[in-house]
Amino acid sequence: MITDIKKFLDYLGKEKNYSRNTVNSYEDDLLQFNSFLARHFGDSSFSLSAIDQVTIRLFLGELLEEKKSKRSIARKLASIRSFMKYLVKKGRIRRNPGLYVATPKLPRKLPVFLDEAAVGKMMELPDSTTPLGLRDRAVLEVLYGTGIRMGELIKLKPEHVDIVKNVVKVDGKGNKQRIVPLGKEARAALENYLGARRVLLKNEHSNMDEGYIFLSNRGKPLYPRGVYNIVTGYIGKIAEIEKKSPHVLRHTFATHMLNRGADLCAVKELLGHESLSTTQLYTHVTVERLKKIYDQAHPKADR
């Protein structure tokens, strides 16, 4: 099965245009499943046709015994289903046994977000007298001002930004492009940073300009860990929320848009969501906020 897994991962990367991180997650899940199957069948050269829904349930049961979270188990089941679908497509098996296994019911988690005052304070923290401070401000403003993902941010190049029309062309998941408006604060921060970007390129560790907008202190393209460290560092200074990540700014963008009356379908397009149900999660945040305000302010709110 290892050969089939390698071909599947290659298919995800080259034909489906999945990110390296996503492909790595599939690889981890499927290699773990393969190890289970070798133990289950007592032979590493087991037949793919021998894998049925009972076998998959036994694998999930083992994960439960190991105290794995339901979210982790659901992700592994999704990986198996996708892999089996690929095997059916390639004629390696006749049917997808993963379709007959129920997904564990997951608790609905509301997105973590910052309030508008906290965002305002955060934007004032970067040192505007240094190139790195200007970069940090631009990172924060663009993430919050556009709602794009961290992976989309680090792929931005100057040609993707139209300062005149105030829009950004974003390469999203599955290599799907979308146009996102660029607010005045994000535009100003970006222009200020681009003016100082050449200083980072002069760093002795920088070999050449690869064209990406956001750079590290060494003049290299900024990697996900770098963006993560920048954002979590500033969020930690203005909020005590448990989860601190670049995705919090995406959640904040969506929540603030809906709080101010934005159309749900429009927010869906801006975020690049495939399904409206994914965007609807933010309406629950808005409803919970309204309930809290009601409970605090209405004289007969005690329920």
pLDDT at res. 189: 95
pTM of the model: 0.67
Q: Do 121 and 260 have their domain in common?
A: yes
227 pLDDT band, cuts 50/70/90, is: very high
Q: Do 33 and 145 have their domain in common?
A: no
For residue range 1-27, what is the model confidence (pLDDT) as tens digits? 889 999 999 999 888 888 888 899 999
For residue range 18-60, what is the model confidence (pLDDT) as tens digits? 888 889 999 999 999 999 999 888 877 888 888 999 999 999 9
76 pLDDT band, cuts 50/70/90, is: very high
Domain boundary among 49, 69, 100: 100
CB-CB neighbours of 33 under 10 Å: 24
Q: Do 168 and 282 have their domain in common?
A: yes
160 pLDDT band, cuts 50/70/90, is: very high
Q: Do 267 and 161 have their domain in common?
A: yes
Catalytic residues: 149, 173, 247, 250, 273, 282
Residues found in the chain: 303
Q: How many domains would you assign to the chain?
A: 2
Q: Answer whether residue 199 is part of any domain.
A: yes
Helix (H) or strand (E) holding 264: helix 264-271
Q: Do 76 and 190 have their domain in common?
A: no
Q: Do 176 and 28 have their domain in common?
A: no
**DSSP 8-state secondary structure symbol assigned to residue 100:** G
Averaged pLDDT score across all residues of the chain: 87
Q: Answer whether residue 106 is part of any domain.
A: no
Domain boundary among 75, 100, 125: 100
Question: If DSSP codes are grouped into helix, strand and coil, which group holds residue 220?
Answer: coil
Identify which has the larger pLDDT, 85 or 171: 85
d(Cα 43, Cα 290) in Å, to the nearest integer? 58
* Residue 128 structure tokens: 């505007």
Q: Answer whether residue 109 is part of any domain.
A: no
Q: Do 234 and 88 have their domain in common?
A: no
CATH of the domain at 227: 1.10.443.10
CATH of the domain at 21: 1.10.150.130
For residue range 193-221, what is the model confidence (pLDDT) as tens digits? 998 888 888 766 556 667 899 999 888 88
Residues of the chain above pLDDT 70, percent? 90
Structural domain range at position 70: 2-100
Domain boundary among 41, 69, 100: 100
Q: Do 96 and 131 have their domain in common?
A: no
Chain-centre distance for alpha carbon 85: 24
Q: Do 128 and 66 have their domain in common?
A: no
pLDDT at res. 228: 93
Task: Report whether 228 contacts 172 (CB < 8 A).
Answer: no
pLDDT at res. 135: 96
Short-list 122, 154, 97, 137, CA closest to 237: 122
